[in-house]
Amino acid sequence: MIGFTILSYLYRGLDSEQVKHGLLKLKNDPKQNRDSLLQKWVQENKKWINEIIEEKEEFPEWLKSFKTLDLEDDNRIKKVHLYLSRNFNFIEYYLTNFTFPNDIKHYEKKLTGNAHTLAGEGKTKGFSGTDDRNDTMPESVVPERLPSQRGTNGKMLHILSRKINNRYRSNMEISSTKELLNQVCQYAKQNEDCYVLIDAGAIIIEMSNFDVCKYLIKKIDKRFDGIVYFSDKNNKIMVILRNEEYFPLSTCHIDNKKLFVYLDEVHTRGTDLKLPLTAHGIVTLGKNMNKDKLMQAVMRLRDLDSKQLVVLWGSKEVSAEIAMINGIKLRDITS
């Protein structure tokens, strides 16, 4: 990476601001023989300078000393940039004093933290609808297997195995995020109860949440007035309208039946949004996705055991793995 950085600067050279900052640093650097170093750079580029100065102009003697070089004169800086911006030693000086100290910091020791250190030794309370990850919890967190909840895992598997939820769509032919979003819009148009896209499989990676919703609002069925999403900037729940105006969901008074919801992979766990009682959700599946993550994602539809339902959309890798495990061809995957 360091080598590529150096090559990039050598090919591109320094811009005017970088030249000015480099010279200001040199001028105020007590450790350097400032004028002699400046003269060295000028001497190295003397042939180049002679080629670019106009015939009537004399060699810029003012460039040989900081006493005659006015760094506040923009015209002079432009000429210095022309003369020295590609000088190897000047670029090396700039990298050593500006780029590398800021971007390549090195420490003898590194402090790290994870869920275990964050939980600490104090009393910690929490709740999760699934228990697949109990073994990875911090030692201070002791899972309580309540008798009333023992049947939860079996209940969830039963709900997801119901005929109305037992549908799978293979996206083998989809090669881009926009193509996938087009398919979502087409599906939502054909299924009037489709209100939410839950990207648990992290298939959408090329676009930000805002860009995804900005694209969806232009393509999705006219029955929707807006798209609900989580802001990339401050993690607030936002709504974007057809005129591309956007604002917090808390200030929105549009009926939830006129809003389509997009949940990116990060927010497929722990998010609680009110959806229509008959909401139909699209849930994406990704490679190596575990049961815990899937169960958390589908339960964003809180009434999944009643009138709400999901359809699972698999990536190319997921479809290929399903076909291999079941010993069938890709085209034979149905549910």
| Segment 107-123, tens digit of pLDDT | 677 777 776 777 766 67
Looking at residue 210, what is its pLDDT?
Answer: 96
Average pLDDT, the chain: 85
User: Do residues 273 and 176 both lie within one domain?
Assistant: yes
Percent share of the chain, pLDDT over 90: 36
Nearby residues of 122 by Cβ (< 8 Å), 6 or more positions away: 140
Structural domain including 235 reads 152-332
Q: Is 96 in the same domain as 228?
A: no
Region 226-248: mean pLDDT is: 95
pLDDT of 243 strictly over 80:
yes
Same domain, 209 and 72: no
How much of the chain, in percent, has pLDDT values that exceed 70? Answer: 92
Of residues 234 and 29, more confidently modeled: 234
The pLDDT value recorded for residue 103 is 74
Measure the CA–CA gap between 158 and 181, rounded to whole angstroms: 30
The model's confidence at residue 124, banded by pLDDT at 50, 70 and 90, is: confident
**Residue given tokens 């933290």 in the structure block:** 113
| Same domain for 50 and 159 | no
Higher pLDDT, residue 215 or 112: 215
- For residue 317, is it within any domain? yes
Residue 287 falls inside a structural domain: yes
Residue 142 forms part of a structural domain: no
pLDDT band at 185 (very low <50, low <70, confident <90, very high): very high
Last residue of a domain, one of 68, 103, 138: 103
> Is 172 found in the same domain as 282?
yes
CATH of the domain at 228: 3.40.50
Residue 37 lies in a domain: yes
**Do 82 and 184 fall into the same domain?**
no
* Confidence label for 127 from pLDDT (cuts 50, 70 and 90): low
pLDDT interval class at 71 (50, 70, 90): confident
* Greater model confidence, 313 or 328: 313
Provide mean pLDDT across the span 293-320. 89
Q: Extract long-range pairs of 16-20: CB within 8 Å, 24+ residues apart.
A: 16/77, 16/78, 16/81, 18/85, 18/94, 18/98, 19/77, 19/80, 19/81, 19/84, 19/85, 19/90, 20/71, 20/77
pLDDT at 4 over 70: yes
- Considering only CA atoms, which of 85, 15, 18, 13 is closest in space to residue 45? 85
User: Does residue 41 lie in a domain region?
Assistant: yes
**Mean of the pLDDT values across residues 203-227?**
95
Q: Is 304 part of a structural domain of the chain?
A: yes
Residues 6 and 70 occupy one common structural domain = yes
- When divided into structural domains, the chain yields a total of 2
Give yes or no: residues 72 and 213 share one domain.
Answer: no
Same domain? For 225 and 320 the reply is yes
Question: Could you tell me the CA-to-CA distances from 160 to 54, 154, 176, 200 in Å, in that order?
Answer: 79, 10, 28, 15
Is the pLDDT assigned to residue 135 strictly greater than 80?
no
- pLDDT value at position 31? 65
Can you give the pLDDT at residue 276?
Answer: 94
d(CA 58, CA 77): 17
The answer on 162 and 67 residing in a single domain is no
pLDDT at 55: 57
Asked if residue 73 belongs to a domain, the reply is yes
Same domain flag for 228 and 307: yes
130 within domain boundaries:
no
Q: What is the pTM of this model?
A: 0.62
Give residue-wise pLDDT tens across range 22-48: 888 888 877 667 888 888 888 888 888
Identify whether residues 171 and 317 lie together within a single domain: yes
